Amino acid sequence: MLCICVAGEEEQQAQSKKALKKQQKEAEKAAKKAEKQAKLAAEQQETDEDADRALVRVQDLTPEKAEQQIWVRARIHTSRAKGKQCFLVLRHQQFTVQALLAVGDRASKQMVKFAANLTKESIIDVEAVVKKVEQKIESCSQQDVELHVERSEARLPLQLEDAVRPEGEGDEEGRATVNQDTRLDNRVIDLRTTTSQAIFRLQSGVCQLFRDTLINKGFVEIQTPKIISAASEGGANVFTVSYFKTSAYLAQSPQLYKQMCICADFDKVFCVGPVFRAEDSNTHRHLTEFVGLDIEMAFNYHYHEVIDSITDTMVQIFKGLRDRFQTEIQTVNKQYPSEPFKFLEPTLRLEYKEAVAMLKAAGYDTDFYVLDKYPLAVRPFYTMPDPNNPKYSNSYDMFMRGEEILSGAQRVHDAQLLTERATHHGIDLEKIKAYIDSFRYGAPPHAGGGIGLERVTMLYLGLHNVRQTSMFPRDPKRLTP
């Protein structure tokens, strides 16, 4: 009996130890949970405090905000330490402002040193007082004010500096400039520069003005397929893609579908979308994928009605860019100087045969003009021949600063003639049967053209490479990023 009692006591003691350990573990677990909750609560409080900050945009920093204490979020464009002071240029998009951080009541020596060593392109939050300046700060867009920094917080460090320096200036001063391949390999960084910001904001304006002008003229915006059964322009410069058990092509233009919409009585249509050209051309103006601004419209008596409508659209775009985007134009000119774009009203139109001699002799003061009546042999199969001279055609190109930005023509709207022209160009009639058939049921005379968005932007700004105006360019040697 005694042995049994002892065994029972030992068992109770073991159970008590287990219970104690369990209680200790639960207590530790509860303490960790409480610590975690307290940490989350503190982080939430910090987040709430951050959310209460009213961030002011750099472009809104004007003398009217003088003596106000504000928060700004921007990138460090440049930094320069001088004694107990640090000068920063803060940048958001294409706008810049000077900031001053000095040792004093609100900033320690360590803080100034920390700010001076922040990596360029870091995104920082700055608490500062806006101060008027006696002498304009020429190096910044906000020339009449500077920020006296009281507190800053580094957010994200990334490198950039030389991408905004004009090439000539870099050569003269022995400082680095960034070549094109380096820019494109690091495109996200390059797109942050004030120049790139200005280029693509102006390009957005081109699209908006194109749409607004045509809608006001009674055009309808359409969307067309980019995977098609036959090469829309004919020829070999087309990308072939696998399409289930057969092959298809990437559209060289929305041409066939624009015309089918005209046959469907839409009268005036336009579209904005990607265009693909399998041309192994490594020039300053060729891309394998670009954005096409395409127009098609029925006319009453002569295809020059369409030319007049397109040229007026372009003139409205030029006026809109000139009037609304001077900040962007001037920003680009700082890095890539060029003469202002010139145009005439009405637009100069010359026939192809006479154009070269007349342009040289007459000395027209314009950067935008039209060449009309191209040889039929160099135009696509759907181009209408000139009824007065079968060697020529009712086709035209438009030029900016001497380079083509639009190719267009009156289209063949008779099914029989269209069949003959397609056969002459070696096109498989079965693959474009639906297109040809759309003209068998009655089609009005019509014409149109396709504009390259990137070329328009490049030439309007006087740039020298279309890759500068393509956000993520594609050419025979570049498929990334």
Alpha helices in 174-224 (DSSP H): 180-185, 187-190, 194-216
Instruction: Verify whether residue 407 is a known catalytic residue.
Output: yes
Summarize pLDDT for 102-129 with one digit per residue, the tens: 888 777 777 787 788 888 888 888 899 9
Catalytic residue, chosen from 73, 150, 404, 425, is 404
Q: What is the pLDDT of residue 115?
A: 82
Catalytic residue, chosen from 77, 277, 413, 421, is 277
Q: Supply 88's token pair.
A: 């920063």
Query: Which of 159-167's residues contact partners 24+ apart within 8 Å by CB, and which partners?
Result: 159/119, 159/120, 159/121, 159/189, 160/120, 160/121, 160/189, 160/192, 160/193, 161/78, 161/120, 163/189, 163/190, 163/193, 163/195, 164/193, 164/194, 164/195, 164/335, 165/335, 166/334, 166/335, 166/336, 166/337
From CA 72, how far away is CA 98, in angstroms rounded? 12
Among left, alpha and beta (phi > 0; psi -120 to 50; other), residue 7 is alpha
Residue 13 pLDDT greater than 80, yes or no: no
- CA 127 from centre of chain: 32
From CA 291, how far away is CA 367, in angstroms rounded? 22
Residue 3 pLDDT greater than 50, yes or no: no
Summarize pLDDT for 379-433 with one digit per residue, the tens: 989 999 999 999 999 999 999 999 999 999 999 999 999 999 999 988 889 988 9
Per-residue confidence band for 97, with pLDDT thresholds at 50, 70 and 90: very high
From CA 430, how far away is CA 435, in angstroms rounded? 10
Instruction: Verify whether residue 455 is a known catalytic residue.
Output: yes
What percent of the chain has pLDDT above 70? 86
Instruction: Verify whether residue 279 is a known catalytic residue.
Output: yes
Summarize pLDDT for 321-372 with one digit per residue, the tens: 999 999 999 999 999 999 999 999 999 998 877 776 676 666 678 899 999 9
Catalytic residue, chosen from 106, 148, 286, 478, is 286
Q: Tell me the average pLDDT of the chain.
A: 87
Catalytic residue, chosen from 233, 455, 467, 470, is 455
Catalytic residue, chosen from 127, 279, 351, 403, is 279
Catalytic residue, chosen from 79, 407, 438, 470, is 407
pTM for the whole structure = 0.73
- CA 265 from centre of chain: 34
Highest-pLDDT range among 119-128, 185-194, 232-241, 333-342: 333-342
Catalytic residue, chosen from 148, 165, 187, 285, is 285
